[in-house]
Each structure stands twice: as C-alpha cells, then as structure tokens.
Structure 1
Amino acid sequence: MYSHRSTPEACLPEAERETHADPILDREEKRAVHDSDSSHAATINANENASSPDAANGMPMPPEPEASRTKLQTSIIMVCLCASVFLAALDTTIVTTALPTISEYFHSSAGYTWIGSAYLLANSASIPSWGKLSDIWGRKPILLGACSVFFIGSTLAATSVNIGMLIAARAIQGIGGGGLLVLVNICISDLFSMRNRGQYFALVGMTWALASALGPVLGGVFTEKVSWRWCFYINLPITGTVTILLFFFLKLDSPRTPVWDGLKAVDWVGSLTVVGGTLMLLLGLELGGVSFSWGSPTVVCLIVFGVVVTGLFVLNEWKLAKYPVMPTRIFSNISNAAALGACFSHGFVFISASYYLPLYFQAVMGASPLLSGVYVLPYALALSFCSVATGIFIKKTGMYLPPIWFGFTIMTLGVGLFIDLPVTTNWAKVILFEIVLGIGVGPNFQAPLIALQSHVQPGDIATATATFGFVRTLSTAISVVIGSVVFQNQMKNHYTTLVGPLGAALANELSGGSAGASVGIVKQLPPAQKAVAQEAYYQSLRTMWIMYVAFAGLGLVISLFIGRHVLSKEHQVTKTGLAAEEEKRKLNQQKKVKDEEPVP
C-alpha cells in the first residue's frame, strides 16, 4: 500500500501509476532520476522518517501525527470542529421561523428576505478565499479568525437596533460561517490519513444535516418562548468555548508568515472577482421573479455581469495569478470534474427536502411552521445515520465509489417517491419516503470529497476542499431559486383553477411569486376553498419534485466518471506558508514544462 505523494510520480495519471508492479521500488527509482524535482515537494510523508539518518542511527523518531494525539485530544478537537459546523449550518435555517416576528419588530417588510439572503450570499462568496488564506498563514490561525468573525457577527445580530444593522451583521456572520464550514474539512484533512478521515467527514455531514433540520425548530422555540435575539445569542457561548479549546488543543503546522508578505501573496484579483461574480449572479437569481421581473434591466444586468466577472476570475486563475485561489489544474482531471459535478447535484437535491418539505407540510398538510420543522426530522436522522455508516465503510474498505453510486441511486429513488407524496394525511407514507431519501443523501456528504482529495496533489488539498465547499453552497443557493421558479410558475398556471372558487383577490395572493409567503392564508379558508388551494399547492410541488428527480439522475450519471484510487493509511502532513506555496508553484511549473515536451 502506498500513498499519493507530492512528487512527479504523484502527478502521473492514475492508470499509469497502477501499472507499476512494485510501487516501493519504482518510487525509489523515480527519486533517483528526479531528485531535483522531489526537493520541491510541499508535503512530508510521516512514514518516510523511518528511512532518515536518525532512524538509521537508532535514534527515536517522533511519532506520526495521528499517533501523537490521545483519544481524549482527538475527541475534544472533533467536538469543537463539529460544533463549529453546527453553528454555521444552524444559522442558515434558524431564522426561517423567526423572520415574520423580526420583520414586525423592526416594522420592515422589505428586509424580510435579506435577513436570510445576506448570510447565504456572504457564506457562498467567501468560501474560496478562506482555503487559500489557510495555505499562507496556516490552518489554526485562520480557523480561529473565522471563529472570531462569526462571534462578532452573532454579537452584532443579537444586539441590532434596526433592520440595516441586522442585515449587515448577518453578512458578517456569513463570512465567518463560510470559513468555519470549509476550514473544518481542511483541518480534518490535515489531521487524519486519507483512509481514516472518511469517518470524521461523516460526523461533519451528520452535524450539518441535524443543524439544518433543527434550525427552524429552535428558531420557533426561541421566538415563541424567549426572544428572536436568542437565535443569535446562542452562538456566543458555544463559539467562545470552541475558540478557546481549539487554541489549546488543535496542533497543526502554523508558519510564522509576516503579515505584509502574506498580504502581498494573496490573489486579490481572484478573491475579488470570485466574490463579485458570485454575489452578482446569486443576487440576480434571488431578485428575479420576486422583487423584479426576470426580464427587468436589474436582474439581466446582475446575471450578465456576474457571468462576465466569473469569466474574468477563470482567466485570472488560469493565466495570471501567482498563487491562485482556485487553481485550474484541479479541474484538468476528469475524475475531479466528475466529483465536483456530483457535489453540485448532491447539494442541489439535498437542500430541496430541507427547504420545500416544510412548505408541503404547511400548505398541503396544514401544519404550523414549528411542527413543519419537526416533521423533517425523519429525513435528517436517516441522513445522519447513513453519513456515519458511510464513513465507517470507507475506513474499513478504503473504497469510496460504492457509497457514491449507492447514494445517488437511492437519492434518485427517494426524491422520485416525493412525486407521490399524499395530498391527505398519511404519516406512514410520508415518513417512509423521507427515510428513503435520507438514506440516499447521507453517503454523498463526504464520499465525493474523498474522491476529489485522492486525485489531487497533497499540497492542493486545501484549495480542492475549498472549491468543493464553494460548489456545494453555490448549488444549494441555485437549487432554492430554481425550485422556487418552478413552483411559482406552476402556481401561476393554476390561477384559472383558483379564481373561480376563491375570487380574483385570493387567487392573486396564492399564485405566482407570492405563493410561498401566502401559505398562511390557506389555513383560514373554508373547507371547500381550502381543498382547491391545497390541490394547487400539491400539484405545483409535484412538478417541482420531478425537476429534482432529473438532477438526481444527472448526478448518478456524472458519478460514473469518478475514478478509483487506493486510499492510503499513511498520514501526510501538509506544509503551509509562503515557502511551501513557492515550492508547489515551481513543482507545477516543472510538470507543465515536461507535459509540453514532445514525445520522442
């Protein structure tokens, strides 16, 4: 068993590497031929210490990083990392049931959507930059910085005196939350070997799912029993405790990069263009069909300029950036592109149940906002169980492709079952369908990430992980918008069905862009009119689920292009800092030159 190394051999295609009959002997031959190239490697294989001069002289070598930690230390670190993800994911959904109360408190209906959107937009746009910052200054200081930003944003949100301050605070929260989500996965990648990290990624996936499901429930409890401000106050003691514990227990390589040197090395053009392009694109999608028509100059300009700026970002990363935020070499491997495509499809479908099942429970089943959040728990629990089971499977077998294929197959089946969700109360059927979808969604929280990491150079794991996180958050944001567009268009098509029994005024309220926000009206209608409205909601959601089945099936097809790779139990410690970045850049330049040399 041998591991993927940051040497010219590691840069070879997988099929070429697997032709070697004796990988250890072949590695030594490669090292003799390409000694100058190997000197530029940006990672250290802990097992190579056995061949060092100290070991030859009988001197004791330092233990491998995983072996140097006690179970208690590992447990404390993982509890802190999972708590960080829990808070970042919780703040995505905790305000959903509190929004009406917050809007009424500040007497601002205009800020209703921006309280949630500000967090999501800032979260998505900031993720790529966090990974590169951790490459320059190290994982630990940047993770602690993300905790601090999230703490500050939560404090400002909890003490907001007007709607503008709350929206700005939510944006600050989103920046910190984006850092927490991506840096937790990067730290796990640095702490554990490729074979072992699957079970820890699984815990993160389970935490994310539970937080997303519990968010509306906790938000409703805080709003009804205490105050909406506790949706943000709850973050303060947990974030503070996590920051202190990580400061003392998280032991990772942290280069003492001078601030000014680090700032000069940041890919500012790449960071600004990815943030600007993402914000404009998501804002256009967010405003389209709600605040402005899809053909309005505002929406068209935002989407067009978002695409243009994103194109400039790609050009900068490809040709101009010295230390790119998102190196294009990550996408040069078809397996990597397939893993990211699978990530997009998975995130696209995963969020659909969390976001639209509560709408189904409220509009069709007549549930309250609080209970609609509780009714999503079977989905979250099944998802969490399968996420953990997948991590254990990958650790035991070293195989990630079977869980990926199994997950997408069952996910396609599960979301397909949602097409047949009952229009009348049938809880056995609803819970069964939720469990099936949860079983399908669970495995692919971490398996595609492991597939991606196994096919990149060790020095690129942070940027690859950040790219993976960016694709996932982008897919969830786009999914909510596209799902809303399909649902709203279908409700608009039911206008003629609604206008007869309900009248023009109510039909206008329940059709088009206001359908989701007007779900409370359905409960107040007389039985005959309520049945007509519920049928319109049911049929519109049914069409939307068909669209999600198509995306789940597309993900299954894409996943077939993910390549197989042997997962090593050897732990590699990734160096960070400017010296490591420069070594990695030179190594990639040398590889590019060799790839361009004509074959004799």
Structure 2
Amino acid sequence: MLIQIAIVTQSYFWPIYFQSVKNTNAKQSGIDLLPLIVSNSLAMLCAGSITSRFGHYVPLMWFGPILLALGGGLFQLMSPNSSFGQWVGFQILSGAGYGACNQMPILAVQVVLTKPDIPTALVIIMFFQMLGGALAPSVGQNLFTDGLLRNLNKVPGVDGAAIVAAGATDFRTLVPAELMDAVVAAFNSALRDVFWFAFAAPALAWGISSLMEWRKLPDYSKQPEAEGNGVNDSGTPVKGIMKPER
C-alpha cells in the first residue's frame, strides 16, 4: 500500500509540475513522464530475473523503497530552472525503486503460506495496493491545494481561488506578467509539500520491510524425482520413473 501511494502520487503530480512550472502542454507532460514508466518496467524485469537467479526476494523489498523514497525526496531540489538531467534522473530513481519491489509481496505469500491460504493472501495484497492507489490522489490533492492557496495568499494582487480553479495551465491567462514568477514559485512550493508525502510513504515501507522473514524461493530444478512405475521407450517397465500424465 505504501509504495503504491508513493508511485501514484509521483505519477499524478509530475505532469502537474511540467504543466504549471515548466509551462508544457498535457501531451508533452505525458512524454516527459516516460523516464518514470520505462525505468519501472525495466527494473521489474531485472528484479524478476534476479529473484529467479538467486531465490531471495527480501533484499529487493529493502532496496526498492529506498530508491523510491530518494526519488520523492530529491524533488525538493526542483525549481522552474531545473535541468533536463535533474527531472529525468529523479524519475528514473523512483521508477527503478518501484519496479524492484512492487511484485515481491506476491512472491512472499507464495513462499510462506500453505496453498489453501495463498489465494486469500493475494486478494489482500491487491486490496491494499488498490487502496494505496485510491488514497494517493486524494491526500496529495488536498496537500497541493492547501499549500498552493497558502502560497498564493502571500502574493499581492492575485486571486488565489481563481488560480486554483483555473488549473495547472490556464492560470497563466489570469496572472499579470509581472507576477508570473511569484505564482509559478507558489506552484513549485506546493508541489514540494506533496512530494514530501511521496518520500514519507516509501520510507515507512522500508522500515516495515525490515521485519520481513528471510526466506528463499524453492528451487524446483533440484527437487528429487518422484518415485513411481513407468515404461521406457521400448515399453519395458522401469521403477523409479513417474509416468507422465497425458
């Protein structure tokens, strides 16, 4: 739930940063979100490969939230003048962190529980993942709106409520040119408040992951063959070989 809160918050508010602070349109802000999406997908593939190779999933549950928290925390360095390398790098950190750990709870329940309990556990995991995804925009939007109104109240000559209602791009039609920098700074500051939330959630997830029991995926390739009666290619009965099911 906590890592889902973090990634949904970042996925939701990075485009708002691009549109309100960097003055891009909706299409370009979606393109600018690609580093987060691509790094997430690649990290997920790497995490699956590493887990299959070594069998240990708990280290990725420690490592992933750290990267995800770093990506959220480093947003505090963002400003209207931030470089291309900064916002790409921060998104890559977050995407890699989420991709590394988001599937590990699903593996964990299949290792530590008996077969009758696994379906129930998987449903519980999916429930909390969806709960995190539902909570993130609501909490984040409240933090963003409150922070933005508070910041705009410090800028004389602007209607804070009207700017909030106008949205991340249309507010520029309501703001005089001489006040534009102050209003953009207000948006940037409000987004920093939201990204503290995106930092705290995975940091707490990392603390919880330290309580995970150290277990390893079973290596089915080394399991002894089941004994039974079968036949070889010539039809002669052979002991100790399980006849394959048709």
Q: So what's the TM-score if we normalise by structure 2?
A: 0.84
Using CA pairs under 8 Å that are at least 6 residues apart, name the structure with larger relative contact order, 1 or 2.
Answer: 2
- 1:510 maps to which of 125, 142, 163: 163
Structure 2 unaligned blocks of 5 or more? 222-246
Partner SS state of residue 497, structure 1? coil
1:501 aligned residue? 157
Contact conserved, 1:422 with 1:430, CA < 8 A, in 2? no
Contact conserved, 2:57 with 2:216, CA < 8 A, in 1? no
Post-superposition shift, 1:398? 0.4
In the TM superposition, 1:287-366 aligns within 5 A as 344-366=1-23
Contact conserved, 1:522 with 1:534, CA < 8 A, in 2? no
Contact conserved, 1:407 with 1:440, CA < 8 A, in 2? yes
1:445 matches 2:95: no
1:465 matches 2:122: yes
- 1:541 maps to which of 191, 196, 201: 191
Contact conserved, 1:365 with 1:425, CA < 8 A, in 2? no
Contact conserved, 1:407 with 1:441, CA < 8 A, in 2? yes
Mapped to 2, the partners of 1:563 and 1:486 lie a distance apart of 35
- 2:51 maps to which of 374, 394, 408: 394
1:378 matches 2:45: no
Alignment deviations for residues 516-552 of structure 1 (CA, whole Å, 9 cap, x no partner): x522223334432221211111001111111221112
- 1:369 maps to which of 26, 29, 34: 26
1:456 aligned residue? 113
1:522 aligned residue? 171
Post-superposition shift, 1:425? 4.7
**What amino acid is aligned across from residue 374 of structure 1 in structure 2?**
I
Alignment deviations for residues 360-382 of structure 1 (CA, whole Å, 9 cap, x no partner): 11111101011111100011111
Number of aligned residue pairs: give it: 220
In the TM superposition, 1:16-31 aligns within 5 A as none
**What amino acid is aligned across from residue 509 of structure 1 in structure 2?**
A
**What amino acid is aligned across from residue 430 of structure 1 in structure 2?**
W
1:484 aligned residue? 141
Alignment deviations for residues 395-420 of structure 1 (CA, whole Å, 9 cap, x no partner): 00000011111111111111111121
Mapped to 2, the partners of 1:460 and 1:420 lie a distance apart of 45
- 2:64 maps to which of 387, 404, 407: 407
Contact conserved, 2:58 with 2:214, CA < 8 A, in 1? yes
1:531 matches 2:187: no
In the TM superposition, 1:115-194 aligns within 5 A as none
Mapped to 2, the partners of 1:462 and 1:495 lie a distance apart of 50
RMSD value over aligned CA atoms?
Answer: 1.6
Mapped to 1, the partners of 2:39 and 2:116 lie a distance apart of 35
In the TM superposition, 1:2-41 aligns within 5 A as none
Contact conserved, 1:451 with 1:562, CA < 8 A, in 2? no
Mapped to 2, the partners of 1:507 and 1:534 lie a distance apart of 12
**What amino acid is aligned across from residue 162 of structure 2 in structure 1?**
E
Alignment deviations for residues 35-66 of structure 1 (CA, whole Å, 9 cap, x no partner): xxxxxxxxxxxxxxxxxxxxxxxxxxxxxxxx
Mapped to 2, the partners of 1:485 and 1:440 lie a distance apart of 25
Mapped to 1, the partners of 2:87 and 2:56 lie a distance apart of 33
Percent identical residues: 24
1:249 aligned residue? none
Post-superposition shift, 1:452? 2.3
Q: So what's the TM-score if we normalise by structure 1?
A: 0.36
